[in-house]
């Protein structure tokens, strides 16, 4: 049954991604916000289909901590593909910091490109850092949340890798707050695994972390300490 459910979800995921790619051929001349709104059908469908096919639901704890008037730098742990889909339903209009290889994934890369992500080459760290600072501030100034996964790669459930300081640097240099996020998506959609497990993904959102008068290390340490606290209390 688990294999059947996972196969059904994957089929719907692939079909919706092909549809998004086809749509991208027609909407690319539009402004970024218009493209973003039209392509939201992809995340809406896949969150719904994940629930129906694999019985994967999610609950948001601390939604009141999401600022309504200004964007933030969202610093989140990374366990699976789930958060790249569902975060579009949880947070306001957003952009991701992604590795350039994702733009060349068949069908997936074109609509991703139209979402105006911050694309970096992880092998060129200095240039990547400059891109995150420059493009990140531009997006924040335009009212978009910037999502950074500071672990760099997906971690196993009930664990956390060391956080890089990219999110803290961007927040400090741009003058915006850090919004810490932690979740357990790997319990339902494990890394590098086709089979999905039914269950509830719990998304914990902390209070915005102000950066005034703090160093990058202090900001990053505060985010990591908060993440470790969530790791202990997550189901």
Whole-number pLDDT of residue 51:
98
The reported pLDDT for the residue numbered 141 is 97
Closest CA relative to residue 109, chosen from 98, 122, 93, 95: 98
* Percentage of the chain exceeding pLDDT 90: 87
With a cut of 80, say whether residue 108 has pLDDT above it.
yes
**Domain ranges (residues) in the chain:** 2-233
Contact 53, 9 (CB under 8 A): yes
Outline where the chain has alpha helix (H): 2-27, 32-54, 82-90, 109-114, 125-141, 166-174, 216-233
So what's the pLDDT on residue 123? Answer: 77
Confidence of residue 129 (pLDDT cuts 50, 70, 90): confident
Q: What is the pLDDT of residue 148?
A: 96
- pLDDT value, residue 152: 82
Q: What is the CATH number of domain 2-233?
A: 3.40.1130
Average pLDDT over residues 84-93: 96
CB 180 within 8 A of CB 77: no
Task: Give the model's pLDDT for residue 118.
Answer: 94
Structure tokens at 12: 């719907």
pLDDT of 80 strictly over 90: yes
Mean pLDDT of 126-133: 88
Sheet strands side by side (includes 94-99): 56-61, 199-205, 178-183, 73-76, 145-148, 94-99, 118-120
Band the pLDDT of 35: cuts 50, 70, 90: very high
84-93, 151-160, 224-233: which has the minimum mean pLDDT? 151-160
Question: Mean pLDDT across the stretch 93-100?
Answer: 93
Mean pLDDT over 74-78 rounds to 97
Which segment of 36-45, 53-62, 187-196 scores lowest on mean pLDDT?
A: 187-196
Res 153: pLDDT: 85
Q: How much is the pTM?
A: 0.95
pLDDT in tens, 133-155: 999 999 999 999 999 999 988 89
Read off the DSSP letter of residue 209: B
């Amino acid at each position: 049954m688990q294999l059947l459910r996972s196969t059904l979800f994957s089929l719907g995921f692939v079909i919706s991604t092909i549809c998004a790619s086809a749509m991208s051929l027609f909407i690319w001349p539009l402004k970024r916000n218009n493209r973003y709104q039209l392509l939201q059908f992809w995340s809406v469908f896949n969150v719904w289909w994940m629930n129906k096919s694999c019985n994967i639901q999610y609950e948001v704890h601390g939604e009141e901590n999401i600022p309504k008037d200004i964007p933030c730098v969202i610093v989140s742990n990374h366990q699976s593909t789930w958060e790249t889909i569902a975060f579009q339903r949880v947070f306001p209009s957003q952009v991701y910091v992604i590795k350039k290889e994702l733009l060349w994934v068949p069908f997936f890369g074109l609509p991703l490109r139209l979402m105006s992500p911050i694309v970096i080459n992880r092998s060129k760290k200095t240039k990547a850092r400059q891109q995150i600072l420059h493009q990140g501030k531009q997006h924040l100034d335009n009212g978009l949340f910037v999502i950074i996964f500071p672990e760099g790669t997906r971690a196993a459930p009930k664990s956390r890798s060391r956080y890089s300081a990219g999110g803290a640097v961007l927040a400090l240099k741009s003058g915006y707050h850090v919004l810490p996020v932690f979740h357990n998506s790997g319990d339902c959609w494990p890394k590098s695994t086709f089979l999905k497990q039914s269950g509830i993904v719990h998304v914990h959102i902390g209070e915005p972390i102000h950066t005034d008068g703090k160093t990058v290390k202090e900001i990053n340490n505060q985010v990591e300490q908060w993440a470790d606290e969530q790791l202990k209390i997550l189901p």
